[in-house]
A and B are shown apart, each in its own frame.
Chain A
Amino acid sequence: MDNLAVTSATAYHRAAMTSARTVIVDYDAGNLRSVQRACAEVGTAADITSDPARVRRADRVIFPGVGAAGSAMRSLRARGLDRALLDVMHDGTPVLGICLGLQISLERSEENDQQTLGLIPGDVRRFALTDRALKVPHMGWNAVRIVRAHPLLAHVEPGDEFYFVHAYYPVPSDEGSVRAVADYEGQFCCALGVGNYFATQFHPEKSGRVGLRLIENFVRWDGNDA
């Protein structure tokens, strides 16, 4: 009897693992296969989908994206993905936003003066730099400094760098949601976490081993931010 129980529990566990659905939200905002490849590298088969029903059913949601806030919002609304994202946000599904996915999770963006999803209070501003030698977009590798620990930033060491490409940066209203900062003529929020939502301005899928580690942390995360 004991053996049988163990066997079925293991089988159940295995089935639960393989059927855990990680989806990557597709809204015509850039190349999503690099995110999918990074998931594969850490052992997770993630599906790319633009179907709101599949997003709602998912166990984990990755919300990436590059491009402009205006066209991204139009594309999300046209597919009904804006409401699907609000739903998964509220039902506790772990969500990982990346780059534009982070930016349009806030309430408003200076880019196209666009009202955005409002999953997180705050807005998005364009870099206004005084040093002419500093270029916009902020593109390349920059050090990420943790200001408030988060399970997804476990194993990120001081001095670790991540890959950035962006001209706008997030300014969340609640400073407590800021988990990490980077410096580009002053510090800006480059990772934020609230409840089951975590997002990065940098691209973990293009940030070598430390980036893959963050993605691995996400696919194992239960959505609890403590």
Chain B
Amino acid sequence: MLSKRLIACLDVRDGNLAKSVRFVDTKDIGDPVAKAREYYRDGLDELVFYDITASSEKRRIILDVVEAVAEQVFIPLSVGGGVRSVADATDLRLAGAEKINVNTAAVERPALIAECAEAIGSQNVVLSMDIRKVGVSPDFPSGYEIVVRGGRTPTGVDALAWTREGERLGAGELVVNSIDADGTRDGYELHLTRAISEAVRIPVIASGGAGVPDHLYDVLTEGKADAALVASMVHYGDYTVSGLKRHLDARGVKMRMSW
């Protein structure tokens, strides 16, 4: 059987590691290459870089970061943030990224998902979704809405409808990021994660809100996620990658325990 995956997300701004609280107020907290190496050696299963660089002239920096990490970290690398075309995806792949995350640009132009799937293979296209709770209404049958541009802009698109559309267009995996839970450390949005997991046949990565190890347990069991994404829990040294995996293993979640 497949193990559940522990994924660490590194938000990179102008080449530095940043962590946001509720998607605003980002602050720099260190060197992403050193962090990546540290987590890899401590048993991380997969690594995600999110480029939140503000200015477009600094975008090449993320390619350098990915390249440096790919030389020393031999687990799948996933990169997103500002991917608008197959050319962007290809540049990141050449730098060493396995998987490419699309988000805002895919909502604005859904064909981007199909184009990337054709160019780099479905299994390497991750549809990353920022989602907020809006309550059930005729416009939002699921009660959740897709938001874009780092969580600032509502789209009027129902989250579950977009999930199904993304799978149909060729996304190989989904990131479900709850804007409401992001940075709160109160736990993942279990209801949302489970609803999406049950609606598709591609893997679901839960994101946003992890604060204590049992939050990961909850989302990998009750939330039916295939992988749990963490950021602040490990970035500030409150928990280690191996410690989180040992906790999940002890609670009976199948994890990769030798590395």
Residues of chain A touching chain B, judged by Cβ–Cβ distance below 8 Å, are 30-31, 33-34, 37-38, 40-41, 66-67, 132, 135-142, 157, 159-161, 163, 165, 183-184, 205-212
Chain B residues contacting A160 (CB-CB under 8 Å) are 258
Of the candidates B2, B5, B70, the one having the most CB atoms from chain A within 10 angstroms of its own CB is B2
- Give Cα A212 to B75, complex, Å: 11
A161 to chain B: closest CB distance in Å? Answer: 4
Contact status B259-A210, CB under 8 Å: yes
Top 6 closest A-B pairs, CB basis? A140-B2, A161-B256, A141-B256, A141-B3, A165-B123, A208-B259
Give the interface size bracket for B toward A. Answer: 20 to 34
B205 to chain A: closest CB distance in Å? Answer: 11
Q: Which of B167-193 contact A (CB under 8 A)?
A: 172-173
A137 to chain B: closest CB distance in Å? Answer: 5
Q: Other than A34-B70, A132-B201, A183-B1, give 17 A-B pairs with Cβ distance below 8 A.
A: A30-B121, A33-B70, A33-B94, A34-B74, A67-B121, A139-B173, A140-B45, A140-B203, A140-B226, A141-B3, A159-B258, A160-B258, A184-B2, A205-B74, A206-B74, A206-B76, A212-B74
User: A142 is contacted by which of B1, B71, B172 (Cβ under 8 Å)?
Assistant: B1
A183-B1, A205-B74 known; A159 vs B257 contact (CB < 8 Å) = yes
A111 to chain B: closest CB distance in Å? Answer: 13
Per-residue interface assignment for chain B, residues 51 to 81, with 1 indicating a CB less than 8 Å from any chain A CB and 0 otherwise: 0000000000000000000111011100000
A135-B202, A137-B172, A140-B203 known; A41 vs B74 contact (CB < 8 Å) = yes
Q: Check if B13 is an interface residue, CB within 8 A of chain A.
A: no
User: B70 is contacted by which of A37, A132, A135 (Cβ under 8 Å)?
Assistant: A37
- Give Cα A160 to B3, complex, Å: 11
8 contacts between A and B (CB under 8 A): A33-B70, A34-B70, A34-B98, A37-B70, A140-B2, A163-B75, A208-B74, A208-B75
Chain B residues contacting A137 (CB-CB under 8 Å) are 123, 172
A135-B201, A157-B258 known; A140 vs B40 contact (CB < 8 Å) = no
Q: Check if B223 is an interface residue, CB within 8 A of chain A.
A: no
Contact status A142-B74, CB under 8 Å: no
A216 to chain B: closest CB distance in Å? Answer: 12
Contact status B123-A139, CB under 8 Å: yes
Nearest to B173 among chain A residues (CB) is: A139
Residues of chain B touching chain A, judged by Cβ–Cβ distance below 8 Å, are 1-3, 5, 40, 45, 70-72, 74-76, 93-94, 96, 98, 121, 123, 172-173, 201-203, 226-227, 256-259
A173 to chain B: closest CB distance in Å? Answer: 27
A101 to chain B: closest CB distance in Å? Answer: 15
A207 to chain B: closest CB distance in Å? Answer: 7
- Give Cα A165 to B258, complex, Å: 20
Contact status B2-A138, CB under 8 Å: yes
- Give Cα A173 to B139, complex, Å: 55
Chain B residues contacting A41 (CB-CB under 8 Å) are 71-72, 74
- Give Cα A184 to B2, complex, Å: 7
- Give Cα A31 to B35, complex, Å: 24
Nearest to A160 among chain B residues (CB) is: B258
Nearest to A38 among chain B residues (CB) is: B74
Contact status B70-A140, CB under 8 Å: no
- Give Cα A171 to B75, complex, Å: 27
Contact status B258-A184, CB under 8 Å: no
Contact status B96-A37, CB under 8 Å: yes
Chain B residues contacting A212 (CB-CB under 8 Å) are 74
User: B203 is contacted by which of A67, A135, A206 (Cβ under 8 Å)?
Assistant: A135
Chain B residues contacting A205 (CB-CB under 8 Å) are 74
